Amino acid sequence: MLGICVCLCAVFTHVLSQEVEEPVSYTCTEGYEYDAVREQCRDIDECTLLDDACKGGMQCINHFGGYLCLPKSAVIYISKEGEQVPLRPPQPSHTIRCAAGFAADEQNICGDVNECDVQSPCQHHCYNLIGSFLCQCEQGYELAQDLVSCQDIDECSFSSYMCQYQCINSPGSYSCECPEGYQLQGNRLCQDVNECEMGTHNCQDHEMCWNYYGGFRCYPKNPCEAPYTKTSENRCICRSQAECQGIPPSVVYKYMSIQADRTVPADIFQIQATNIYANTHNTFRIKAGNEAGDFFLRPSSNVSAMLVLTKPLSGPREYVVDLEMITHHLAMSYRSSSLLRLTIIVGPYAF
Ligand SMILES: [Ca+2]
Ligand SMILES: [Ca+2]
């Protein structure tokens, strides 16, 4: 501590010039003025009298017969009969300046400030460090540029693969949604709802329910139209010699569902002879329904062929493709044919 002691012992230097003759004139030494009431010289307080007694921010201390200009940090004691009385409360002669994150204690020692202790500056989690602190955000949030606030992560902006159909961002999270006719499978995939199994279809008694990707269809349980009659499930036979001239004697109805935009070429359906006779040779062809050239029939054996998808189909759409099997009876030298009417239901999406 810097202290300046100004001792004011025995300073009553008052010079009184006393003459017997009138008029009486009194002269005081410099720094004093004559008090006519008390008839004595008294000290002039230069600090109150002079506006700029001290320059450069120094403090002015009045003193008998003069004044002192001292630094503001100086502590002044006035000695009065051997007792030291502070002129003003003692103040540290210098202030400890601690680095950021540290604060001075009563002993003027810089110590760590626990910023997380009372009022955490972090929006979510605060971790105190020596001389600093660290904010962390809850899952689904990231630290903002101010390093204390937490802002939602838009997971949907990461990639279009976050969700198979639609990504919905939400504070701290996200969710996937599926279109009508689908349900969420796990977190991101959409799975077709099988309305026919769930019983949520509205097919009539004479209809059968056929599930496809994104919906369902109702088809007549008996697809056979005159002159055909139903012999077994999905099989129609023409029995009348007169009426069946020039039309296939048998038509089998089949249904299948595929997703849109399938990678091609893709084997999608196998046609196979149900009755196999000796000394016969079978050929297969697409008789109708392939005007756009979306399909190709590849022979796979004497009794079977594979329907190949050659173009990615867009949906929702229904294709009806007539596949014909021509049987050559080699020994008896005649041919017969049967028809398979394949209904292909393409869903609206690739899933
Ligand atoms: Ca989010
Ligand atoms: Ca469905």
- What is the rounded average pLDDT of the residues 323-347? 92
284: enclosing H helix or E strand: strand 280-288
Q: Which residue has the higher pLDDT, 271 or 42?
A: 271
Nearest residue to 64 (alpha-carbon basis) of 3, 6, 18, 16: 6
**Separation between Cα atoms, residue 344 and residue 213, nearest integer Å:** 11
Same fold, 102-152 and 207-346: no
How far does the centroid of ligand 2 lie from the alpha carbon of residue 200, in Å?
A: 10
Ligand nearest the Cα atom of residue 142: 1
Q: Which CATH number fits domain 102-152: 2.10.25.10, 3.40.50.2000, 2.60.40.1930, 2.40.30.30?
A: 2.10.25.10
Q: Which CATH class is domain 155-192?
A: mainly beta
- What is the rounded average pLDDT of the residues 220-238? 93
How far does the centroid of ligand 2 lie from the alpha carbon of residue 221, in Å?
A: 19
- What is the rounded average pLDDT of the residues 13-29? 53
Q: Which residue has the higher pLDDT, 286 or 73?
A: 286
CA R_g for the chain:
54
- Alpha helices (H) in the chain, listed in sequence order: 46-49, 195-198
How far does the centroid of ligand 2 lie from the alpha carbon of residue 180, in Å?
A: 10
- Provide the pLDDT for residue 317: 96
- What is the rounded average pLDDT of the residues 12-38? 62
Ligand nearest the Cα atom of residue 195: 2
Contact 140, 173 (CB under 8 A): yes
Contact 285, 334 (CB under 8 A): no
- For the chain, which residues make up each domain, given as ranges? 3-86, 102-152, 155-192, 207-346
pLDDT of 14 over the 50 cut: no
Confidence of residue 331 (pLDDT cuts 50, 70, 90): confident
How far does the centroid of ligand 2 lie from the alpha carbon of residue 253, in Å?
A: 20
**CB neighbour class for 98 (10 Å; exposed up to 12, middle 13-18, buried from 19):** middle
Please tell me the least confidently modeled range out of 7-21, 129-143, 212-226. 7-21
**Separation between Cα atoms, residue 59 and residue 289, nearest integer Å:** 108
- Provide the pLDDT for residue 74: 67
User: Pairing relation of β-strands 3-6 and 75-80?
Assistant: parallel
- Provide the pLDDT for residue 20: 43
Ligand nearest the Cα atom of residue 214: 2
How far does the centroid of ligand 2 lie from the alpha carbon of residue 186, in Å?
A: 18
pLDDT of 145 over the 60 cut: yes
> HSE-up of 281 (CA within 13 Å, CB side)?
6
Ligand nearest the Cα atom of residue 349: 2
- Provide the pLDDT for residue 139: 96
- What is the rounded average pLDDT of the residues 42-56? 81
How far does the centroid of ligand 1 lie from the alpha carbon of residue 183, in Å?
A: 22
Q: Which CATH number fits domain 207-346: 2.30.110.10, 1.10.940.10, 2.60.40.60, 3.30.365.10?
A: 2.60.40.60
Spell out where 99-238 has E strands: 102-104, 110-112, 125-129, 132-136, 141-143, 150-152, 166-170, 173-177, 182-185, 189-192, 207-212, 215-220, 228-232, 235-238
> HSE-up of 18 (CA within 13 Å, CB side)?
6
**Separation between Cα atoms, residue 237 and residue 279, nearest integer Å:** 24
How far does the centroid of ligand 2 lie from the alpha carbon of residue 350, in Å?
A: 13
- What is the rounded average pLDDT of the residues 226-232? 92
pTM, two decimals, is 0.64
Contact 126, 99 (CB under 8 A): no
**Two tokens at 245?**
């001239």
How far does the centroid of ligand 1 lie from the alpha carbon of residue 144, in Å?
A: 14
pLDDT of 24 over the 50 cut: yes
pLDDT of 10 over the 50 cut: no
pLDDT of 6 over the 70 cut: no
